[in-house]
Amino acid sequence: MTMLEMLKNTENTEARILEAVEKAHEAHEKLNAVVTFIDPAEQIANLDQYKEGAMAGIPIALKDNVNTKGIRTTASSRILDNYVPIYDATIVKKLREAGAVFIAKTSMDELAMGGTNLTAATGPVLNPYDTNCISGGSSGGSAALVAAGVVPMAIGTDTGDSIRKPASFCNIVGFKPTYGRISRYGIIPYSSSLDHVGTFTRTVKDAALSLEVLAGRDDKDMTSSNRPVENYLAMTKGEVAGKKVAVIKNIVDAIDNQETLACLNNVVEGLKAKGAVVDYVEMDQQLLRAVLPTYFLIANCEATANHSNLDGIRFGNRKEADSSEEIMMKTRTEGLGSQARKRFVIGSYGLFAENQERFFRQAQRVRRLICEDVDRVLNEYDVFIAPASAKGATKLNEPAMDQMSDAYLIVENHMALGNFTGYPSITVPMGMTGGMPIGVNLTGRAFEEGELLNIAQAIEDVMNKVGE
Amino acid sequence: MNYDVVIGIEIHCELKTKTKMFSGAPTSFGMKANTCVNEIDLGHPGTMPAVNKQAVRYAIMACTALNMSVDTLVKFDRKNYYYTDLPKGFQITQQFHPIGSEGYLDIETEAGTKRIGIERLHMEEDTAKQFHLDALTLVDYNRAGTPLVEIVSKPDMTSGKEAAAYVSKLRETLFYLGVSDVKMEEGSMRCDVNISLKPAGSPVYGTKVEIKNLNSISNVQKAVDYEIERQSKIYDEGGKIAQETRRFDEATQTTVTMRLKEGSVDYKYFPEPNIFPIQLDPQWVKGIQENLPELPDQRRARYMNEYGLGSYDANVLISNKELSDFYEEVCKVAKDGKIAANWCISELSGALSKRNETLSTMKLTAAHLGALINMILDKEISGKQAKEVFEDVLEGKDPKEVAAAKGMKQVSDTSAILALINQVLDENPQSIEDFKNGKSRAVGFLVGQVMKKSKGQANPAMTNQLLNEELKKR
Amino acid sequence: METIKDKAYFKGLANRLMFDLNDEEATSIVDEFATLCQQLELLEAVDTTGVEPMVYPFETPTVYLRDDEEDHTISQEQAMANATKSLQGHFSVPKVVK
């Protein structure tokens, strides 16, 4: 059931929540998607208090980097294995007041640093469509629970494509609105200038409804926006007559998977049939090839500082030693996974005084040029679209791609454009490739979530028609 | 050999805000450990900074008083290092765009007024406090996140005296602004001195030594003087100065090595991504700048011009703001600022130290002291009587009532005094004889007799004058 | 002169970040660094003359400053709740050598 369907049926809310908990346990057995189960008893007892809320009685899951007061929050890192937050993230308060019921904290790549969910302290999350495949990451557990029908909505975070990629792999809607639209206060960060909070849902309308609950200014997050929150659900009509859609040609050109291209073509033809104008638009190839290194540097330079607080002294999984320095050393060595430590080393390398201009600052400059190139497209088009990936979810032990190919650099990393610009971006299912789901990604203009959701709805409608 | 001494000073000053620089937890001094904190001050995962408006206001006030230009686009940066007292593993500071730049402060030296340049003033956050026991270090995060301004001078000072004068002037200025407690002993103001020597006239700077955590102005002077001597001696003997951080050792009155500086530490500064640049409202800034509290220099000039005080008296008052503020209140009532100053500086200060009290603990009111001074000026009571009345005024009593209760009044009526004088002269022919024989002591005796007869109420000056006149007539 | 980016180099960098890399990790980072350098060349090849670094996704300055009013304070018990070692309301570590 979708969230909207659930909201129509206000009876047996308690049974629905308990059923979701049961399903969560079953799904976890199969998919390894949960870090911590939350006993919903207390929330069920309080259901009446929030019964007027926009998400009253809806069971949902939270990525394990969302701080929940009194409930263990690990960000899938050993170093936070015993961390019990003393405060709630702002979105947790908002969701609670809307009546949502939290049933699980979901697995993720350690500290959100990854795109596979293979680096979680609790091990890989498996894809509901094929348990030999990954769920994608970093918000893999949330994606898997929504895809498995456990909850209609789960919170994720997205620094490069950490919501939108797993959504593609798991055949669901993955949405990150504009940077600053949803407060980040209380979200364990990866990279502050790229991090976004967003949602996994099964429908675009559920994404719109969720945004109405989550969005809004928070004085605790100075980067959050003062713009009024709109009635996104009402704007999600699927009416695209006269709307202009750009397909990024460079990305399509670098895909050789014919099934994926056929899926995309379906989308394009469907949109055209609904009266949209669809053009293939070229972006600057050199800049697109530079997206990954730009992302990698900015994200990890910021991350190495963001996680310097993980020293075991005030919180976390402290390892005893003879001096405070050794305690920090041991705590961090044993508590942080290889991948996280290696990324911190690279980030720190990029920040050194002698390197900073050449790497971190250069990445920030290229980020500007890339954003300007995106603006060039969006000045003319309402949204731009491209396949979220060239193919479905990879196998758990699949060898790495050629790291210098366009197929890797461009096709598998282009969604970071939405993080560089901060513009709203959504992935919607568009069919199957090699027996696995694949999604199409749409990115729109800043704070025009309503328009983005409207066009995404049209694609969903096209796909539903294909399904019939 | 002669050396040029080059001294620059960095001051860290805690701002007197109610809450922290980036969190809404209270600032504190001497509170129970870890009770003035929230998740932000402890650097918990997911926390984010929110800039304190009052801290920005105080920084603007300080910039303005120090003649600095204010950057109305406020930006912050991260300074990265690991230490137990630094909860986030980085400090939020203003490395690249300090709020204040290019100012100065004038200090008084033996050679006259000297202008000391100030390079920058920036906002940042304080660290936690550590207590070192035998085997353990205990950490209290109450201080963590307290707003600080760091004020960096240009290397414009050349002696311990100048360094002390600069710190003292800066301290006084910040105190008058009301932006900080500036208590060096309690650490709300901390002073680091950079000092190097070079052969007189040489364009090449010598190796810089930093003396950290000087906790009083006199120690600033002592440490610098000692350091000049130490470095001169080393250079004289052909030695080299190690690039190091030293501290002033109270016991031996010398500076001692804390640690050697091996190259410079790379703090990997970069812009704080969680704080967008903040555009200050120019009207707000202007309002702050135009409504600064009176600064010590301005007050000093006013005391000299308006009340006719000499520079010594003016300085004594200015150097004690509480007394100076009290003096202003006294002057609202008292008709003569100079006499009011005398009373504040000698009688009042003397009484305070004798009683081991402060103005805030005393019952005395400024209005009463003003009234008492006016009673002297109006010749209602004598100066001697006033001192007696003052003892009760210190207890919060009204001087008029005290004088009345004691039956004090000053007789300044010529005929009444003359009557008494003639009575005394009639009674003391021997003294008249003595006077005529040139024994001036006789006058004192006779005045005393008149005063006695008047029960101390005769105006002594008038008595003296009239008595002399009467003696000549006899 | 460029420093040789060998295992020891990266282990040294790691130590400055208060953790160790084991031999296997150091070996893999050396390998990955070679690939990364190739990718970084793509970044360095972009002509950014006259381009300002983009620090934030949106560059319209904010005007918000927090009023200096106490919003929330946590109890000592909450402050210490996640600390493994504490003594008399303080976080405790072996003596910090200055």
B131 min Cα distance to partner chain C (Å): 9
Q: Is A191 marked active-site? A: no
pLDDT of residue B210: 95
CB B241 within 8 A of CB B257: no
Q: Which residue has 């364009």 as its token pair?
A: B203
Could you give the ipTM of this predicted complex? 0.97
- Whether the pLDDT of residue B409 is over 80: the answer is no
CB–CB contact A421 C55 (8 Å)? no
Contact list, B39 vs chain A (CB under 8 Å) = 85-87
Whether the link from the prior residue into A224 is cis, omega within 30° of 0, is no
Nearest-by-Cβ selection for C14 from A324, A341, A369 = A341
Sketch out chain B's domains with CATH numbers.
Answer: 3-282 (no CATH), 294-405 (no CATH), 414-473 (1.10.10.410)
pLDDT band at C97 (very low <50, low <70, confident <90, very high): low
CB–CB contact C18 B82 (8 Å)? yes
Q: Does B139 touch chain A (CB under 8 A)?
A: yes
The mean pLDDT of chain C is: 94
pLDDT of residue B77: 98
Q: Is A111 helix (H, G, I), strand (E, B) or coil?
A: helix
CB–CB contact B45 A86 (8 Å)? no
Contact list, C46 vs chain A (CB under 8 Å) = 286-287, 290, 362, 365-366, 369
Contact list, C55 vs chain B (CB under 8 Å) = 271, 273
DSSP labels, A2-63: -HHHHHH--TTHHHHHHHHHHHHHHHHHHH--EEEE---HHHHHTGGGGTTSTTTT-EEEEE
Delimit the domains of chain A by residue range.
Answer: 1-468
The mean pLDDT of chain B is: 93
- Whether the pLDDT of residue B185 is over 80: the answer is yes
CB A254 within 8 A of CB A289: no
| Residue C2: CB atoms within 10 Å | 4
Which top CATH class is A1-468? alpha beta
- Whether the pLDDT of residue B157 is over 70: the answer is yes
Q: What stretch of H or E contains A291?
A: helix A291-306
pLDDT band at B51 (very low <50, low <70, confident <90, very high): very high
| Nearest residue on chain C to A225, alpha-carbon basis | C62
Contact list, B35 vs chain C (CB under 8 Å) = 73, 75-76, 79, 89
A120 min Cα distance to partner chain B (Å): 17
Q: Where are the beta strands (DSSP E) in B77-111?
A: 77-80, 90-93, 100-109
CB C40 within 8 A of CB A293: yes
A446 min Cα distance to partner chain B (Å): 17
Q: Write the pLDDT tens digit of every residue in B265-322.
A: 899 999 999 999 999 999 999 999 999 999 999 999 999 999 999 999 999 999 999 9
CB–CB contact A348 B268 (8 Å)? yes
Contact list, C44 vs chain A (CB under 8 Å) = 358, 362
A468 min Cα distance to partner chain C (Å): 41
pLDDT of residue B441: 82
C52 min Cα distance to partner chain A (Å): 6
Exactly one of A76, A142, A162, A168 is catalytic; which is it? A162
Contact list, C20 vs chain A (CB under 8 Å) = 329, 333
| Residue A226: CB atoms within 10 Å | 10
Q: Write the pLDDT tens digit of every residue in B337-395.
A: 999 999 999 999 999 989 888 888 888 999 999 999 999 888 888 888 888 899 999 99
Choice between A158 and B457, residue whose per-residue pLDDT is larger: A158
d(CA A4, CA A58): 10
Contact list, C93 vs chain B (CB under 8 Å) = 84, 136-137, 139
Q: Which residue has 């730009």 as its token pair?
A: A294
Q: Is A224 marked active-site? A: no
Nearest-by-Cβ selection for A363 from C25, C43, C45 = C43
CB–CB contact A305 B266 (8 Å)? no
CB–CB contact B44 A220 (8 Å)? no
Alpha carbon distances (Å) from A91 to A155, A347, B25, B275, B337: 9, 29, 21, 19, 63
Average of pLDDT values for B239-261? 92
Alpha-helical (H) ranges within B237-291 are 282-290
Q: What is the pLDDT along chain A (468 residues), one digit of tens a residue?
A: 999 999 998 888 999 999 999 999 999 999 999 999 999 999 999 999 999 999 999 999 999 999 999 999 999 999 999 999 999 999 999 999 999 999 999 999 999 999 999 999 999 999 999 999 999 999 999 999 999 999 999 999 999 999 999 999 999 999 999 999 999 999 999 999 999 999 999 999 999 999 999 999 999 999 999 999 999 999 999 999 999 999 999 999 999 999 999 999 999 999 999 999 999 999 999 999 999 999 999 999 999 999 999 999 999 999 999 999 999 999 999 999 999 999 999 999 999 999 999 999 999 999 999 999 999 999 999 999 999 999 999 999 999 999 999 999 999 999 999 999 999 999 999 999 999 999 999 999 999 999 999 999 999 999 998 776
CB–CB contact A332 C93 (8 Å)? no
B36 min Cα distance to partner chain C (Å): 6
pLDDT of residue B416: 80
Residue A121 DSSP one-character state: T
- Whether the pLDDT of residue C1 is over 70: the answer is no
φ/ψ bin of B112: left (φ > 0), alpha (ψ from -120 to 50), beta (otherwise):
left
Chains that touch C (3 or more CB pairs under 8 A): A, B
CB–CB contact A362 C19 (8 Å)? no
d(CA A290, CA B55): 41
Q: Is A162 marked active-site? A: yes
- Whether the pLDDT of residue B455 is over 80: the answer is no
